[in-house]
Each structure stands twice: as C-alpha cells, then as structure tokens.
Amino acid sequence: MLEIIAFDADDTLWHSETYYAEAQARFVEILSPYGETSEQALAVLHRVEIENLPYFGYGFKGFTLSMVQAALSITAGAVRGEHIQELIDLGKTMSGHAVLLLDGVHETVAQLARHHPLMLITKGDLLDQERKISDSGLGDYFQYIEIVSDKTPASYQRLFQRHDINPARFLMIGNSLRSDIAPVLSLGGYAVHVPYHLTWAHEALTDLPAADGRFFQLESITDLPRLIGKIEKEGASGNEERK
C-alpha cells in the first residue's frame, strides 16, 4: 500500500550534527580570548544562524558566514583577521569530512529498495549534499533524489505534485520533528521519527499535528523493514509503536 518510502539524509542516514557540534566547540575556543563565556558565544551564534536562514539557507556555508558574523558581533568588530581566517578554514573542513553512515543504514536501505521505490529528501548546500550522497555509496538505491532549500508543508506538497504521489501512501523517515515529521503528518502521510543523539535547537519541536495513527518512533533504523511490513499489513489499525 505504500507507494514511496522517503528518507532524510543528515543525521538519519549519516552523521552530520556531530561535525557542527565540533565546529561550535572550536568556535568557542577561538573566541575565548575576547572574554565572552561559551554560553554567551553560542547563544549569539545560534541567534545569528536563525536570522541568516532566509539569506543563506541551510548547510555549512551559511553556518560559516554565521560564525564570522557572530564573531564580529561578540567582539564588537575587534576580532582579529587570523581568527576570522580560522573560522573560514573551520567551515571548509566541514565540507570535506568523511561520510559516516549510521549503524545498520546500508543493510536497511538495501533491503527496502528491493520492494519499494525509495526517495531521498535532503536540505542544505547543493554541492555538499551531492558530494555526501555520492560518497555514501547509497545513491543507487534511491529512485528519486530531491535536494530542497527547506522542508515545509509547501515544499513536500510540491514534491507530491511533481511525482504524482498520494500522501496517504507516502512514508517519510527522519531525525527532525520539524522538517521530516510534522509537515508530512500535516499533509496526511506516514512519518517515522528516528532520533539522533544530537538535535540542532532549530529542528526541535514540541507540538506535532494530529497523526491519527500515522506517526511512529523507532530507536534504530534497522527496525524499519519490520514496521513497514506491519503498516502495509494492518493499514491504519493500531499497533504498539504508534504514538
């Protein structure tokens, strides 16, 4: 009964937020000589990141520019050129990091691809996402790969129209309640939340739309084939993982 199984990429298939956390720790170190506490420095960085989303979008390039802007703001313009250079280099390192798959991802994706058309839906820098998809070795399992600038109900709606997808036969797996789960539930699709151990504050969400038995949480992506089998067998009737 499911026509498309769709996956988020960052922190669902491969590690990503860990690299941001490492960069933030280094950002705090670089700024420490200027007298700001790490909490204050991170609070400024987070505020600047959110303010910059409409300008730069998601991904490491926007994050790098936000580190530079936050450094200028924190030091009232006094940050030294060499420290700006370090922040830019830090951003460049993020673009070259290894793509490390989460446990069980390769086997699970390969298994599901045998019986279902798979779609990858990811947001962020086009170049960076293309590199990660290629380096992941998973590209061939996906019939459709969609790199979008944001994951809102409107952007999912556009994908549904373009690929002629009935949302009631669409299932999305992802780590972000805000980007992967809430919009899909609001459009009538199935959504499976597989939390990652780190969550960017921007992606956290407390209120989910009414799910009517279409929302599930799993600890590991390896439980997905069993869950999908169950959904397809039982349709919209109850089961123990349903929230």
Cβ–Cβ under 8 Å, residues 8 and 181: no
Cβ–Cβ under 8 Å, residues 177 and 208: yes
Residue 11 or 36 having the CB closest to Mg ion: 11
Under the criterion CB under 5 A, does residue 11 sit at the interface with Mg ion? yes
Under the criterion CB under 5 A, does residue 129 sit at the interface with Mg ion? no
Q: Report the C-alpha gap between 116 and 96 in whole angstroms.
A: 32
Token output for 168: 């009631």
Cβ–Cβ under 8 Å, residues 156 and 183: yes
CB of 179 to Mg ion, least distance (A): 7
Among the listed ranges 4-12, 57-65, 155-163, 228-236, the one in contact with Mg ion (CB under 5 A) is 4-12
Total binding residues toward Mg ion, as defined by CB under 5 A: 5
CB of 90 to Mg ion, least distance (A): 21
Under the criterion CB under 5 A, does residue 8 sit at the interface with Mg ion? yes
Under the criterion CB under 5 A, does residue 128 sit at the interface with Mg ion? no
Handedness of CA 127, 133, 136, 140 (dihedral sign): negative
Smallest CA-to-CA distance from 206 within 180, 185, 182, 241 is with 182
Token output for 74: 């924190």
Under the criterion CB under 5 A, does residue 122 sit at the interface with Mg ion? no
Residue 48 or 194 having the CB closest to Mg ion: 194
Residue 108 or 175 having the CB closest to Mg ion: 175
| Of the candidate residues 5, 10, 121, 182, the single one contacting Mg ion (CB under 5 A) | 10
CA angle 236–10–23, rounded 5-degree value: 145
DSSP 181-196: IHHHHHTT-EEEE---
Residues in 162-191 at the binding interface with Mg ion, rule: CB under 5 A = 175-176
Residue 9 or 71 having the CB closest to Mg ion: 9
Residue 86 or 135 having the CB closest to Mg ion: 135
Under the criterion CB under 5 A, does residue 146 sit at the interface with Mg ion? no
In the complex, which residues of this chain contact Mg ion (CB under 5 A)? 8, 10-11, 175-176
